[in-house]
């Protein structure tokens, strides 16, 4: 009985591994392979990049203002930018539209204050609407450290195995019917 219990998971793991390794039957007539395929990859989403001048660590109650610079690679259309936050209160970051036919970097001023210590995030969603009915977006988060950085205490039950793997042993009861 015990041998069956130990063998069954091994058989299931082999079945799953072989199913994952199987290649789907897809026609390859339209696929063009090249040695430089990894260099031709373009990340899906809008062609929008960002930079900011937010620096260092902040204190609770302190009001901070920084510049957010958004660059894009479009000849026409409108870029709509919305800023939200988790853990901090935004004071100045109204949604803004930028004309992408101008080119160059688009500048936005963001102000915030924090009510408690910790790692918080300012989230930016930029939507590129080029007027053809298809809009693409780019979303990114800017981390903000408020107060001192706190490290997590290691779990006292953590053990390191001979192969370097960390585990936590727990007691359990098994009932075999």
CATH code at 44-145: 2.60.40.10
At 8-19, the pLDDT tens digits run: 555 555 444 444
pLDDT top residue among 7 and 169: 169
State the Cα–Cα distance between residues 8 and 176, nearest whole angstrom: 15
* Whether pTM exceeds 0.85: no
**Is residue 5 very low, low, confident or very high in pLDDT (cuts 50, 70, 90)?**
low
Number of H helices, E strands in the chain: 1, 11
At 160-170, the pLDDT tens digits run: 889 988 888 88
What per-residue confidence (pLDDT) applies to 41? Answer: 58
| Res 33 pLDDT > 80 | no
What per-residue confidence (pLDDT) applies to 109? Answer: 92
State the Cα–Cα distance between residues 157 and 153, nearest whole angstrom: 12
What per-residue confidence (pLDDT) applies to 100? Answer: 87
At 68-113, the pLDDT tens digits run: 999 988 888 899 999 999 888 999 888 999 988 887 789 999 999 9
At 115-151, the pLDDT tens digits run: 899 889 999 999 998 877 778 899 999 999 988 887 7
CA distances from 161 to 92, 156, 157, 165, 172 (A): 51, 15, 13, 5, 20
């Amino acid at each position: 009985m015990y041998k069956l219990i130990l063998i069954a998971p091994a058989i299931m793991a082999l079945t799953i591994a072989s199913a994952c390794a199987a290649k789907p039957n897809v026609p390859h007539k339209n696929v063009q392979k090249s040695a430089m395929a990894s260099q031709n990859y373009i990340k899906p989403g809008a062609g929008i990049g960002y930079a900011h001048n937010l620096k260092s660590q902040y204190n609770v109650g302190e009001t901070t203002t920084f510049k957010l610079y958004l660059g894009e690679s479009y000849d026409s259309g409108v870029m709509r930018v919305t800023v939200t936050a988790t853990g901090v209160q935004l004071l100045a970051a109204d949604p803004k539209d930028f004309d992408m036919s101008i080119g160059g970097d688009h500048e936005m001023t963001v102000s915030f204050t924090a009510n408690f210590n910790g790692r918080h995030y300012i989230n930016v969603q930029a939507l590129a609407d080029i007027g053809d009915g298809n809009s693409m977006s780019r979303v990114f988060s800017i981390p903000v450290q408020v107060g001192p950085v706190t490290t997590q205490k290691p779990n006292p039950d953590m053990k390191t195995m001979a192969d370097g793997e960390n585990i936590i042993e727990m007691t359990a009861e098994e009932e075999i019917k």
